[in-house]
A and B are shown apart, each in its own frame.
Chain A
């Protein structure tokens, strides 16, 4: 660790044996602190992305930077390994440069504040919070340029700097940074919220230590990490086989006409350790969809998913990290070389979850979910109000949650944890647009015993001249179904001009000029289905037809025929199901991808009206 940490108190904490009850009390107290961090930021932030959509991630670690509570793993260790300066009490660091922290944050929009927590002059932990800024400069409004080839085009790069030193905010540096952003008052307010949030958690941790003593507190952190490690080691032993399983999935293109990019991964267990090897993953893109995959964050993806699948009571922290080994080939799309562009890394990041499900589900089919989780579609619209004021909207989209062993996927819900939508009445009030339709797309969820969630269709009527950018994927490859379930429908983007002409826009495009009364139909994809659709209750299918979630024709995919009053025609249904059962293969493939990649590419133009991408490296 090249960073030099200054502690005025030379005393070292001693390990003490702590009774299990005190451990649980401190665990709860730290968890409450984390929730308070979220609350402080969301109440003060200004950009809709942080405020409404909760694109923020809190973290509290032990003195070594190991996550005790948080969501996306620790950002601190990546920082500590790269930071070469002095760390002392009263400092809050700001950074957004993925290449300065081993990818602990993955694009420049994510501004990360980090604070060492001191108690009585001794370093007792770190608090960190990051939030996605609507704009951080660079060549495109919202700072997510598909056309970028280098990170220099993506906005201002902030290596770890002391935005607060000895308790004092560096206004000069902040001035310089904000001058490089298009929405400086949002950045400023959001940054103040981030700082307030880490300060709050620092205070709370000190209060906990006042109550229990520093020796007890730090011993408890070790025990919490140990608890998690013991639990995860059992889960890994029971859920991950020694035999190698392999899976691959794709990100359709990079917005520059190249794709699909393959993410390949194999997984196996050696003793109580699990190994993930991404050998076979395609090389880095010339565009900006590269995802600098931080090992710690991947481990957290894996751990969090295992816990949810196998024992949701476990609190996840960094304790199990040495049980997981991650091998990522250099210069691949998961480990790009600086200065490769990385701003639009969300598609690859999201696809990692589908890959994990595909891997884990092979050895534990009862825990197998279909595909469609996750990505984070964006709609960006900017220009000037009638009175000349600049406006800039960055909005996260939603889609079909995949079908799960537990039941159906959800229609039009968030593909990232805890995100929420921005109220349409709010958007209409502050941006020159009208949202004329906001509903899920019938039949877009993959058919199955458990139905995949429907994708969402949002119709934006443009009211002021401006430009739009679209960030989405799964327009080409399907969100696959499992165990006999059908794939979900793919996404599409249709722009109907004021004169009635129609243009199918690519899923990834930027700077598309729009005029008043153009209408954009932003249609996301559906989740894959789970299990044989012929086993779905016909009454349930009929109900969903009446609800408008499935069409009458769509009901046929479940072998269900309806009468005119939209109730089940029992006889016709029995006949159709018998006929369909006879046509089905004797046993279902575990995964249904809707055809091979070659077949999908061959059908691309006729089905999507868009040119197929060029294969990478070809």
Chain B
């Protein structure tokens, strides 16, 4: 990169499990450079800082000229998964102390499910939950005034018990936040430094359990996130002086580091959101609007849908068994990954794969770290898709005999050949992932044949061709470098802020002016957040959302309008849009009145200027990149197959299947009767040969 005097830079960072990927973008030219360093899971900020140092040195960039650092992080997710978040105290309305303990009373698992269910303890424990004497009504009226002296005594008790964060969530507080604020004031005075989250701010929506659990999760990850962001920011300031830090939210928007620290519940899917926004950006470069993203890692696969250039979002975020009401990109996960373990239950003799995973330790048998059970990766080794003649990453040797021994257990149990067993494992795991892709597409009322498939993650490129074939979604796209994709995601997305409120009202009992007025107010609130983070008001774009249902329904459908369309079409547009969508999703409409549930304004900053680096061009013959030949087993046949080094492939190369394309952290399999073409950005575009 030739830095000019005036050059300033933005930097995208994705801290993954194995590698931390960075890209640096010249704000003036849009030119991009990449770097990769090993991750430091015990303190992910170390790798981020190492990476920044490396990339600046490598490309001769003065760290002082970095204006923005854009970051997707899994710190909040991991804290929730590992259950090592804060000790949270909870204040509820009198009579509701057990709100998290009783929850929604559901026992999963069908008939007899209760016999074997293991319930996780709530994230705010019952002994750290206290009740306030107070009551707000459904219209916001104060029915019982707050007993301040009583709650003060109870908060003193919580402070003595050593809570590290406090949640206040009162019944009907979404209609009137007064009591929650009063208690927060008392808590601030009693226990300065302890972060307090109140439900009327975190999620001012109806449904006491969901509002409480969401606010508690906010408290639970609050200390660990603010510590992480503070560390990062302090050290970034030393390194780069003037750069502002922005964090990718679960819904794919960016927020300032300071706001992120206040509402970390919005960061639970920050990591996967990077992959989706990165896919979106790559798709735009190559002119595609409809994409199914397919991110297959070691233990799970995340899929999502981008339709008409917009990632689908939803109002919930789920991490393991914890589900909260925070907007996120609609990522569906299945417990199917490279490390998923295959087994044959004694009684049914059926072949099952996952959701149990060998994880990073001991890992697949083929990794030689002590794993003995057969995994999907081992099946790939047995079939030759992961050649034992090449290393994975920089150093990892493939132990083929160990993989054969592991998969052999399945062959013995089913009394079939080793390769049949391995192909069986691949078919089952493929079917599980297909189920997730269907949930993200067909179940949402769209036809996967109108979509292309974008595959990333360590194992995604291996399965891209196969899944695209089953779903008939072409082409299958393998972008360069799975981790880089997430870093692109962070660096190329827009600032985003939103404000919402519950407004349960029959549409024929309100009017365009009233709703427009409320939406405008929400838009102003959301814009203020972005303006504080340095965006120019003139660059902001506002989108309105209305959650609508038929009076009496419990679930709503979210409809989205740009502000101009809303002001022009008004509520009549909303009604029509709802009926159309209901018909599309559920095949019928009702002659019932419509009801608004929530109103929301989403404000976005301008799209950054970034252009993808173009790969060198070729004559279309990839022979220069062929590094060896190998035998692979597909659909019962042994086939001689060339192995290519992705780094040596050029734009316009056509790679006919069967073929294996190897790169440092992923392997792409191209099936017979298919061809992979390298486009000018280095993506592999797989299509069937007619």
Residues of A within 8 A of B (CB): 20-25, 27-29, 32, 36, 39-40, 42-48, 51-52, 71-72, 185-186, 188-189, 192-193, 195-196, 199-200, 227-228, 230-231, 234-235, 300-301, 304-305, 307-309, 311-315, 369, 373, 398, 401, 404, 406-407, 409-414, 417-421, 423-426, 428-429, 434-440, 456, 459, 543, 546-549
Contacts and interface: CB of A to CB of B under 8 A. Distances in A.
Contacts of B101: 411-412, 440, 547
Interface stretch (B341-349, B560-568, B613-621, B647-655): B341-349
B116 interface: yes
A25 B104 contact: no
Nearest to B114: A401
B113 A417 contact: yes
Contacts of B534: none
A308 B112 contact: yes
A401 B108 CA distance: 13
Given A20-B351, A21-B424, A314 B345 contact: yes
Contacts of B97: 439, 548
Q: Which of A51, A186, A414, A543 has the most CB of B within 10 A?
A: A414
B98 A440 contact: yes
A189 B105 contact: no
Contact of B107 (A29, A192, A414): A414
Interface string B397-430: 0000000000000000010100000011001100
B351 A21 contact: yes
Interface stretch (B206-214, B229-237, B310-318): B206-214
Contacts of B114: 373, 401, 404, 409-410, 413, 417
A239 B107 CA distance: 25
Nearest to B115: A308
Contacts of B428: 21, 24-25, 28
A312 B174 CA distance: 42
Given A305-B112, A417-B111, A196 B119 contact: no
B5 interface: no
23 contacts: A21-B351, A40-B586, A185-B592, A189-B550, A189-B590, A189-B592, A196-B587, A228-B348, A308-B109, A308-B113, A308-B116, A311-B347, A313-B345, A410-B117, A412-B98, A413-B102, A414-B106, A424-B208, A426-B206, A434-B137, A439-B96, A440-B102, A548-B126
Given A227-B350, A308-B112, A410-B114, 18 more contacts: A23-B350, A32-B435, A32-B438, A40-B586, A185-B592, A186-B552, A189-B552, A195-B588, A227-B348, A230-B347, A406-B115, A418-B109, A423-B206, A423-B207, A429-B206, A440-B98, A440-B102, A459-B95
Contacts of A29: 431, 435
Interface string B587-630: 11010100000000000000000000000000000000000000
B78 interface: no
Contacts of A428: 137-138, 172
B443 interface: yes
B576 interface: no
Interface string B163-191: 00000000110100000000000000000
B348 A230 contact: yes
A421 B103 CA distance: 8
Given A71-B111, A227-B349, A439-B95, A406 B116 contact: yes
A548 B127 CA distance: 8
B588 A438 contact: no
Contact of B590 (A192, A420, A546): A192
B347 A235 contact: yes
10 pairs of A and B residues whose beta carbons are closest in the complex: A308-B112, A437-B95, A46-B552, A304-B111, A231-B347, A547-B126, A51-B554, A412-B102, A420-B106, A439-B98
A410 B119 contact: yes
B105 A419 contact: yes
A373 to B, nearest CB: 6
Contacts of A36: 443
B555 A42 contact: yes
A413 B98 contact: no
A234 B206 contact: no
- The bracket for how many chain B residues form the interface is 35 or more
A228 B172 CA distance: 49
Nearest to A410: B119
Nearest to B143: A434
A419 B106 contact: yes
B115 A369 contact: yes
A311 B345 contact: yes
A598 to B, nearest CB: 32
Contacts of B96: 437-439
B352 interface: yes
A543 B352 contact: no
Contacts of B4: none
Contact of A549 (B126, B210, B427, B438): B126
Contacts of B94: 437
Contact of B105 (A40, A71, A420, A429): A420
B539 interface: no
Contact of A413 (B106, B550, B590): B106
B98 A28 contact: no
A413 B115 contact: no
A411 B138 CA distance: 27
Given A308-B112, A313-B348, A314-B348, A398 B586 contact: no
A271 to B, nearest CB: 19
B555 A188 contact: no
A234 B111 contact: no
A425 B171 contact: yes
B110 interface: yes
B546 to A, nearest CB: 17
Contacts of A25: 427-428, 431
A436 B345 CA distance: 49
Contact of B351 (A24, A44, A406, A459): A24
A107 to B, nearest CB: 19
A245 to B, nearest CB: 19
A43 B98 contact: no
A193 B174 CA distance: 31
A413 B105 CA distance: 4
B553 interface: yes
Contacts of A401: 107, 114
B46 interface: no
A236 B119 CA distance: 29
Contact of A410 (B107, B172, B174, B423): B107
B394 interface: no
B631 interface: no
Nearest to A227: B348
